[in-house]
Each structure stands twice: as structure tokens, then as C-alpha cells.
Structure 1
């Protein structure tokens, strides 16, 4: 007598088997996925190349006080212009220093953090940036200082994404801190700059400090648009974990 083999469990139905196969099989895509790239703005790189040395110079003056101040052994010739600026903005002059006002040094420490982020961004762009192929009849610009400022270039992959986030974060810090600097004057009754006449205030305080509002604001807009565009076009990230036991 022939007996049938005993199965430990019933065969799943075709519908159930198809569902289980869909859960365990990775999704397939058609075509080749495009690699993400970040395109640095020429205005952004020009501003950073111009502003980073100024911020380093400014930080040196603040952190080396009183030696960098008028009468100090390090004052001339490197920080000689601060002899005038210290009389325009007392936060940089003797009144704030003698009063042990900590705001000057505190905001300078944040300046250093921002500057390190900007230097990292510029280094990534220069080190990992790839030149966009020029059109027919155009001459390809080789890597160098002029290429960093004006060349058409992209930084791809995770390296470019990290540089983008660092530059965006540093720009938000710069704008926020500069606005805080202005608001501090407003709510203190213009304690440090209220003694100036209108012309001196506009030429020596409002215009120079206003640049650190205009350009970081522009950088936030450009870099934020790049981040937003990437998020809108990104596909959902698959969660990797242990398969569920049946």
C-alpha cells in the first residue's frame, strides 16, 4: 500500500506566496539613478574668499586684547585700523574692555566656529569639485584661484552633501549672530554706537556690518533652495532591519 508523504504544514496559497515574496524582494527600478550633485554659487565662494580673512583678522584683534589695542605691543601695524573703529563702536574699544563686557569675545568665538565651517566648505569645493564641461568653442578653466571663484563646477555625492549642510549651518549662525549684534544695540539704547554722527554711523558701522546680513541671507536662500530641491526629489529611504519571523 502506497502512503502519501506527510507535510509539516500546508502549502501557502498563491496569493499569500506572492505577498510574502513582495515583502522579501527588494524593489527594482528601471534606468540608472542620477547621482546627486551640489553646484556652488559663484557669489557664495567670492563672498567667503573675501570675508573669511577679515573675520580671522577681527578674531585676532578681539582674542589678543589688550595687546592688539592702541598702545599694545601688537597693535601696529596689523590692527591699526581698530584705533578708529574702537571709537566708533565701543564694543571693540576700551569702554567695553574696561567694563569686562564679555559679549565681544563670546561672539568672536562663534565667529571662529563659523569660519572653520566656511574654510571646510571652500576646501571641499576646491579639492573635490569637478569642472562642468564647457560648451563647444569654450576654453576649459583649470583648477586654481580663478576657477574657485568663477568656474562652473559641481561637488557630488555624500561629500558635497556634507559640505552643503556645513555651509548652510554656518550661514544661519552668521546671520543670527549679526542680527543679535544689532538687536543688542537697539535694546541697550545704542549704548555703544549712539555717540556717532549720522555720516560716521552709516559709513563705519551700518554699511560694514550690514554686509554680514545681506550675504549670509543670500547664502541661506541659495543653499536652502538646493537642500529643498534635493528633499523634494529624494526617494524614501528603506529601513534595514531583521526580517520578521513568520
Structure 2
């Protein structure tokens, strides 16, 4: 007769913590990690200073606007852009339109989050590619994905606000001015954050697949899995 007491020592209760699960599955043929995408890092390095510059203009109004004592030379380009997009010009300011400052406040929150992502990559990344294994990689991907969804949603709202208002702030532009001074610059905040969202989602799904025991699952871009069997 088989003793049931022996099963308690032979089969201890499993540790279901995520980090332990990822460590166990890596031994079965797959090691999860987040390698920061060079295109993502490049976009953040370029875009973050622009967002800070933009936020300083918005929260510094009216002093940063044309004829303001802070306008020249730092915010001189906004003299033109304020005529292209009235939401950044005197029209919105005189009408006490709060949309400009509201969306800029969200820009500041996003920027703080993106800076936190870069800090995690720099602080805890390993090697020249700043690879983030297991727990810290999960934190970075989760934060990055949430911020990308926020950026794309807010930018889409910015576009939809014009559409549903009869293009009140940009409808006066000729097609070429609209294309090169509004559509392309603002479209960048739809295209690149969407790509970033794809990168983070891919790594998150890959980590979940490994944690569930599907070690054969691979992301579109990944290093060669280690084999410890």
C-alpha cells in the first residue's frame, strides 16, 4: 500500500511567483528578457527634449508667445506654428481654451514615465545592449506599453478634436502647409509610439508564454535561447 505521507516530501508546494516561474521555464529551453529596441531609444532621445520645449512654451504663456518677453529666441518657431494651429496661438489663449494646457499636462506625465523607463534601462540593463532580464524587464515593458497606449490615445484625441470641431484650428491652412507643418509633425507621435507599443507588447506576450510553459514561443526579435538541459 502506497503511503500518502511520502508525497508531501516528494512534491513540495510550488512557488508561483513570476520571477521564479520565469527562472524555471528558462531551464526548460527559453530565457525571457527585454532588450531595448534601438529605434525606441532613439525616438525617446529625440522626442523628450521636444516635449519639454513644448510644455515650457504652453505653461509659460503668454510670456513665451509672440511679443512676450520670453518668446525670443527659444520659442521663436511658435510664432509660425501658432498661425498654423490656433490651439497654440493667441486665439486659444484669448478664448481661455483649456485643451492646450490639458493635453500638455498629460505630455508631462508621459515624459516622466519615459524617463523612468530610460533610467531602468541604464541602471539595471546588462551589457552593451542594456538587456533587462526577468523582473526588471517586466517592469520596463509594462511601464513602456502603458505609456505608449497613453501617447497614441492622447494624440488621436488631438486629431479627433479637430475633426469633430470642423477643423476650427487648422482648417485655414493650404494643403501643403497643413501637410508639412501639422500632419507630418503630429503624425510622428502616432507612428513611433505605435511601433513602441508593438515592441513592448511582443516582449510581454513572449514572457507570458514562457511563464505558462510554452518555452518554444519566440518574439519577432530575440536573442538565441539558452539551453541548460
Q: TM-score range by the shorter chain?
A: 0.7 to 0.9
More helix by share: 2
RMSD of the TM alignment (CA)? 2.4
Matched ranges for 1:63-212 at <5 A? 63-131=59-127, 152-212=129-189
TM-score w.r.t. the length of structure 1 is: 0.76
User: Structure 1 residues 21-30 or 213-222, which shifts more?
Assistant: 21-30
Q: Match of 1:228?
A: 205
Matched, 1:14 2:2: yes
Unaligned runs of 5+ in 2: 16-23, 214-229
Look up the match of 2:58: 62
Q: Displacement of 1:153 after TM fit? A: 3.4
Asked if 1 retains the 8 angstrom alpha-carbon contact of 2:113 and 2:147, the reply is yes
Change (3 A) 1:46 1:96: same
Aligned to 1:138: none
Q: CA deviation at 1:109?
A: 0.4
* Greater Cα offset, 24-33 or 45-54: 24-33
Secondary structure, counterpart of 1:14 in structure 2: coil
Match 1:42 to one of 25, 33, 38: 38
Runs of 4+ residues deviating >6 angstroms: 27-30
3-state SS of 2:202 partner? helix
**Bigger RCO (CA 8 Å, 6+ sep):** 2
Please report the TM-score for the alignment, with normalisation by the length of structure 2: 0.82
Higher Rg of the two aligned structures = 1
